[in-house]
Amino acid sequence: MKKREAVPEYGGSHTTSLECPEDHQDMLRVSREFKMKYRGLLYYYGKDFVAFKKENRDSQGRNLFLEVIASYMTLHLEDECPDSWNECPYPFWEELIFTYLPSKTKILPEKNFTHLFLHELHAFLTWLDEREHTALSPKVLPFIKESLPMLSRYESLFADLFLRNYPKMHQPDWNYRADMAIADQKWNLYAERAQGLFQVHSIEKEGILFIDLLTRFPYFIRNVPVHRIDEGMVIAGAIGRRESGMVWDLVFPDGFFPKRGIKYIGEDLVY
């Protein structure tokens, strides 16, 4: 996502007046459940998020969805916030689905974060269409259908590679500090290390050729399953080469992005 300047919390045609104190306090309590910043309540989308949350307040999927989309709005779009949902252009939805969503993927035991988000996104758009007489669902549904199988595959791969370093993450007795210490020891075994965003340039039987998006330096990776990789996709993370080795390992993956989302990746990408 590209860097954007902060803007004042008040003013502009896209802001809304606050309700009476009791209603406002209720909205504030609900919005905290999905970690929306206070300023979101001053915009049309904040009230819609709260109302949508109230429709199914105990749903884990709904809360995950609202955490992501509220963060997308408050952290990345307030300086150019559209005046209404109807004025959100195609790139707004494309960036949300193909770039921002992968950057926020959570490692769930069921590996269904992508499915939960996109299901709730579709439900939210349908809900808005019925409530506000918008026409968002037909506009965004093609993006959802295109992205779901691909991003679900990327999520599954991300989870499998991430759990190499933290195999007991989903167990009740997981010792986070112990796993972190082991991971640090593993990282220190590499004589040469690099971190960043790497695009898959080509896929060979023996491994994958990464290209650093910033330096354009090539790295040949051999510890990633080639049959689960797509040419052109972007992988965020840390790689390392052992002192006597010629090839590199993907040591700590941080995110997997489709080729379509590259145009929205900026220096402030959160992964």
14 band by pLDDT with thresholds 50, 70 and 90: low
The answer to whether residue 151 is domain-embedded is yes
Q: Quote the pLDDT of residue 43.
A: 81
- Give the CATH number of the domain where residue 232 resides: 2.40.50.140
pLDDT in tens, 187-206: 999 999 999 999 999 999 99
Residue 153 shares a structural domain with residue 193: no
Residue 200 shares a structural domain with residue 156: no
Classify the C-alpha dihedral 87-140-103-111 as positive or negative.
positive
The three-class DSSP label of residue 248 is strand
Q: Quote the pLDDT of residue 238.
A: 98
Helix-helix angle 21-33:44-55, to 10 degrees: 70
The answer to whether residue 7 is domain-embedded is no
**pLDDT exceeds cutoff 80 at 214:** yes
For 130-145, letters b (16+ CB in 10 Å) and e give eeeebebbebbeebbe
Which of residues 129, 147, 163 is at a domain's end? 163
Residue 109 neighbours by CB distance under 10 Å = 9
Segment 236-262 mean pLDDT: 96
The answer to whether residue 50 is domain-embedded is yes
Residue 143 shares a structural domain with residue 219: no
Q: Quote the pLDDT of residue 270.
A: 42
**pLDDT exceeds cutoff 90 at 253:** yes
Beta bridge partners of 240: 193, 249
The answer to whether residue 175 is domain-embedded is no
Of 211 and 19, the structure prediction assigns the larger pLDDT to: 211
Residue 91 shares a structural domain with residue 194: no
Segment 114-121 mean pLDDT: 98
The answer to whether residue 77 is domain-embedded is yes
The answer to whether residue 58 is domain-embedded is yes
The answer to whether residue 183 is domain-embedded is no
**pLDDT exceeds cutoff 60 at 19:** no
Helix-, strand-, coil-residue percentages of the chain, each rounded to 5: 50, 15, 35
Segment 264-270 mean pLDDT: 65
9 band by pLDDT with thresholds 50, 70 and 90: very low
Q: Quote the pLDDT of residue 266.
A: 72
Measure Cα distances from 191 to 140, 187, 218, 244 in Å.
46, 9, 17, 9
Quickly tell me which residue has 């990746």 as its tokens: 265
Measure Cα distances from 158 to 62, 209, 251 in Å.
22, 18, 12
**pLDDT exceeds cutoff 70 at 211:** yes
31 band by pLDDT with thresholds 50, 70 and 90: confident
10 band by pLDDT with thresholds 50, 70 and 90: very low
Residue 151 shares a structural domain with residue 29: yes
pLDDT in tens, 122-172: 999 999 999 999 999 999 999 999 999 999 999 999 999 999 999 999 999
Residue 88 shares a structural domain with residue 144: yes
Residue 120 shares a structural domain with residue 63: yes
Residue 34 shares a structural domain with residue 127: yes
Segment 2-21 mean pLDDT: 46
Segment 65-75 mean pLDDT: 91
The answer to whether residue 4 is domain-embedded is no
The strand order across the sheet containing 192-203 reads 218-221, 208-212, 192-203, 234-241, 249-257
User: What DSSP state is assigned to residue 34?
Assistant: T
Provide the domain count of the chain. Answer: 2
Measure Cα distances from 248 to 4, 106, 178 in Å.
35, 26, 25
- Report phi then psi at 202, rounded to 5: -155, 155
Q: Quote the pLDDT of residue 7.
A: 35
Mean pLDDT of the chain: 89
Residue 242 shares a structural domain with residue 157: no
Residue 258 shares a structural domain with residue 218: yes
Mark out the alpha helices in the chain (DSSP H runs).
21-33, 44-55, 60-76, 90-95, 101-103, 113-132, 137-165, 176-188
pLDDT in tens, 218-238: 999 999 999 999 999 999 999
Residue 44 shares a structural domain with residue 110: yes
Q: Quote the pLDDT of residue 239.
A: 98
Which of residues 163, 180, 201 is at a domain's end? 163
Q: Quote the pLDDT of residue 146.
A: 98
- Report phi then psi at 268, rounded to 5: -95, 20
Of 26 and 263, the structure prediction assigns the larger pLDDT to: 263
Q: Quote the pLDDT of residue 17.
A: 52
| Domain of 202, in residue numbers | 188-264
Residue 77 shares a structural domain with residue 25: yes
Q: What angle do CA 8, 262, 214 make, to 5 degrees?
A: 95
Which of residues 128, 163, 198 is at a domain's end? 163
Q: From 120, 155, 154, select the one nearest 140 (Cα to Cα).
A: 120
